[in-house]
């Protein structure tokens, strides 16, 4: 499979979430740098590093057959000419069960190389419960 060239970090990010929703392992791994220093941390999971370990983790998830829908909110982006850090909130739901959502905070790190932008880190953790809104008091 020929590697796509992502001309922006946002293009790589879009491809990452599209591959996740389609449960497409080849498309998912196309987003990642082929490097032993890449890192993946799923919510509640261990730190995985290296291309083979990350591919295997995604293969197991996709093989389970659960189709996910991911809505991205609250993006924050810091970018230099060769590195981009995206911090965001993922609202993950199972297709067909939109009532149940799992809020996840995620950090995605991308680097730009000769073949365009590639992911080197995806770190996702369960989002803490939303703080209750403070009562509004008029004086």
Task: Give residue 10's pLDDT.
Answer: 97
Mean pLDDT, range 97-105, rounded to an integer: 78
> In the beta sheet, which residues pair with residue 97?
94
68-79/47-49 β-pairing:
unpaired
Q: Is the entire prediction scored with pTM above 0.85?
A: yes
Measured distance CA(37)–CA(56) in Å, rounded: 16
pLDDT at 71 over 70: yes
Measured distance CA(10)–CA(21) in Å, rounded: 17
CA distances from 43 to 35, 47, 71, 88, 120 (A): 22, 10, 16, 14, 17
pLDDT single digits (tens) 3-13? 789 999 999 99
Measured distance CA(102)–CA(137) in Å, rounded: 32
Confidence band, pLDDT 50/70/90 cuts, at residue 130: low
Mean pLDDT, range 31-47, rounded to an integer: 96
* Between 3 and 122, residue with greater pLDDT: 122
Task: Give residue 66's pLDDT.
Answer: 85
């Amino acid at each position: 499979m020929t590697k796509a060239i992502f001309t922006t970090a946002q293009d790589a990010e879009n491809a990452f979430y599209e591959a996740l929703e389609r449960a497409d392992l080849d498309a998912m791994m196309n987003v990642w740098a082929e490097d032993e220093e890449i890192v993946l941390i799923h919510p509640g999971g261990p730190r995985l590093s290296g291309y083979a370990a990350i591919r295997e983790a995604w293969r197991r998830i996709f093989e389970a057959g659960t189709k996910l829908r991911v809505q991205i909110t609250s993006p924050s982006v810091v970018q230099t000419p060769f590195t981009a850090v995206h911090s965001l909130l993922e609202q993950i739901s199972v297709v067909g069960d939109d009532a149940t959502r799992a809020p996840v905070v995620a950090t995605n790190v991308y680097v730009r190389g000769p073949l365009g932008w590639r992911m080197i880190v995806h770190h996702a953790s369960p989002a803490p419960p939303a703080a209750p809104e403070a009562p509004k008091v008029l004086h």
